[in-house]
Amino acid sequence: MRPHEFLRHWRRAHGITQMAAARAADVSQAAWSGWERNLTVPQANKLFLLERMTEGQLPASAWSTLGPTDYERVDEFLRRLAGRPDVEEDSCMTT
């Protein structure tokens, strides 16, 4: 089950309205609805709040939108910052 689907399932299983869930997460009802409909991804601080609200059933990491290519770019960038010579100077963070 994808994170947005779990969030909707969890809320409904607990008999909570979107408005009540949104208030508990300190966001608008429209923001909560966007999360449930997979239109938006919660900000990092909200990801951890949702993890606590669901008692760990929806870990913050479940919302990760980074793919392998993104991780490779970050790794290359960090190696370049560290001054490692095994990375070509202009190869980092290119699209």
Provide the pLDDT for residue 68: 52
Both tokens assigned to 77 = 């960038």
Q: pLDDT: is 90 or 79 the higher one?
A: 79
Q: pLDDT: is 58 or 90 the higher one?
A: 58
Q: Examine the domain organization and report whether 88 and 58 are in the same domain.
A: no
Q: Examine the domain organization and report whether 53 and 70 are in the same domain.
A: no
Work out whether the CA dihedral 41, 66, 48, 81 comes out positive or negative: negative
pLDDT above 50 (res 26): yes
pLDDT tens profile 57-75 = 999 888 876 555 555 666 7
Tell me the mean pLDDT in the region 28-55: 93
Tell me the mean pLDDT in the region 25-44: 93
User: What is the chain's mean pLDDT, rounded?
Assistant: 82
| Domains of the chain: total | 2
Q: Examine the domain organization and report whether 76 and 54 are in the same domain.
A: no
- Domain membership of residue 27 as a residue range: 3-63
Q: Examine the domain organization and report whether 24 and 56 are in the same domain.
A: yes
Q: Examine the domain organization and report whether 16 and 50 are in the same domain.
A: yes
